Amino acid sequence: MSSYIYMALRYTLGKARYALSFAFISIAVCSLYCYLLSSSSFGLLILGKHYLLYMIPATAALSTLVGLSAVVEVASFGRNASGFSLGAAVLGLLPGLCCSPLLPTVLTSLGGSYFAIRYSGEIQGTLALYGFLLLALAFVMSALSLVRGSKRLAECDECRVARVRESGK
């Protein structure tokens, strides 16, 4: 397994456009995660005052994995797998929404103040409680997406044609 992932990464990141896409997606996703997680201080209640020491590396690792899985999926003509990297990116966002004003604003506009005051805590509190589980799921999904994309890249005929075309043979 590790060999075809290595080959897939070598092939994908060897192409300038994929490498640029990877850099762009990873930096954009990482910036958004860092903004959301640090503005909501996610992890403080569980990890204590030094939560950023754990959260920043975890965020950077997840963003890198999401970026890699997205470009490998693209390079491998991923169809079913394409939802996985997007799903992972969205799952990674959820813990940061636990203390942000985003959900209360949406709930207030949907059901008014009464609805928001009664129920916004249920959603946000649950996100806060299960935030680490969501982050772990995001890691698993993007890793799965990377594995599937790499496997597809190693096995599919269309990819082989694309690789031959791109390498100019």
Partner 1 sequence: MGSKRYSGSGGKREAQKRVKARESGRRWKVYAPILTSLVVIGLVLALIHRGPSVGVAVGDVAPNSQFTLLNGTTTQLYNFKGHYLLLYFITTWCDGCAEGLNQLSSYYPMLQARGVQVLVLESYNDLGYPGMELGKFVKQFGNSNFTAGYASYDMTLKYNSKAYPDVYYLISPDGKVIYEGQDLSTGLGNLLTIMQKI
Single out the residue of 120, 141, 142, 153 in contact with partner 1 (rule: CB under 8 A): 120
SS3 43: coil
CA–CA gap between residue 79 and residue 110 (Å, rounded): 34
**Residue 125 binds partner 1 (CB under 8 A):** yes
Report the residue number, 2 or 131, with the smaller CB distance to partner 1: 131
Q: What angle do CA 94, 138, 141 make, to 5 degrees?
A: 140
Neighbouring residues of 66: CB distance < 8 A, sequence distance ≥ 6? 25, 26, 29, 85, 88, 89, 92, 138, 142
Report the residue number, 2 or 32, with the smaller CB distance to partner 1: 32
Q: How far is CA 83 from the centre of its chain?
A: 11
Q: Which stretch binds partner 1 (CB under 8 A): 2-10, 57-65, 133-141, 160-168?
A: 160-168
Report the residue number, 57 or 101, with the smaller CB distance to partner 1: 101
CA–CA gap between residue 14 and residue 58 (Å, rounded): 26
How far apart are CB 65 and partner 1 at their closest, in Å? 14
Q: Which stretch binds partner 1 (CB under 8 A): 4-12, 56-64, 121-129, 134-142?
A: 121-129
Single out the residue of 101, 133, 140, 167 in contact with partner 1 (rule: CB under 8 A): 101
Report the residue number, 2 or 49, with the smaller CB distance to partner 1: 49
Our separate counts of H helices and E strands in the chain read 8, 0
Contact 81, 110 (CB under 8 A): no
**Residue 7 binds partner 1 (CB under 8 A):** no
Single out the residue of 58, 107, 134, 153 in contact with partner 1 (rule: CB under 8 A): 107
